[in-house]
Amino acid sequence: MPNMKKPKKNVVDATQQHLVLKANASSKPANVSPDISVLDSAATEPTNTAILELLQKLSEDRTKHLTDLQKELSETRRAVVAVEEKLADVFTRMTSAEARLDMLEDTEDQRRNSPPALASEVEMLKAKLVEYEDRDRQVNLRIYGFPEHSEEKDALSFPKTTLPDILQADFPGGLDLERAFTGL
């Protein structure tokens, strides 16, 4: 057979065997003369009550230790639960932040792909602005009192025909008008 190791003797087993031997030794018949070495060893050996007291103390210590361990374990569990709750809250907040960030990225992409005003619209609006500023700087003649829509469709030809009639003047070179606008 292969080399088998013998199991190590447990300290408790050795103590039990020692106690059994002591009990057997103490139950010897009275007619046997006691040896001095036996008396010395008997005086130093623990009695059954002392052993029982030690075992009870060991049991109490073990119970107290187990109680302390259970308290520490429950505190640790509470701490772990608190950390898990905080992690769940952080995860929820992070998920919400990621969703908002995705929405903002989508909005930015959409804005880049379809700007609100095209370049051609911007140029047209700039031209209108320049025209309105030019009108303001020029010397303008404003005529009030004409009925609404009397110019019909051509705002420039209306004053060319109407002004000579009103002024009762004949303009030999014709009336030179650059622009005509209707007011609101």
Residue 32 has pLDDT above 60, yes or no: no
Task: Tell me: pLDDT of 22 over 60.
Answer: no
Calculate Rg over the CA atoms of the chain.
57
CA dist list (Å): 162 to 23, 108, 118: 147, 56, 42
Cβ atoms of 159 and 180 closer than 8 Å: yes
Q: Which is nearest to 131 in space by CA: 65, 179, 72? A: 179
Q: Which two tokens stand for residue 78?
A: 């509470």
Residues 6+ apart with CB under 8 A from 70: none
Provide the 8-state DSSP code for 33: P
Sequence-ordered strand ranges (E) for 1-100: none
pLDDT in tens, 113-136: 877 777 788 889 999 999 888 877
Query: What average pLDDT score do residues 18-46 get?
Result: 52
The Cα diameter of the chain in Å comes to 173
3-state SS record for 135-173: HHHCCCCCCCCCCCCCCCCCCCHHHHHHHHHHHCCCCCC
Amino acid at 104: L
The span from the CA of 59 to the CA of 57, in Å, is 5
| Mean pLDDT value across the chain | 78
Q: What is the pLDDT of residue 151?
A: 76
Q: Which tokens sit at 112?
A: 């880049």
pLDDT in tens, 153-177: 777 888 888 888 888 888 888 777 7
36 pLDDT above the threshold of 80: no
Cα(95)–Cα(116) distance, integer angstroms: 31
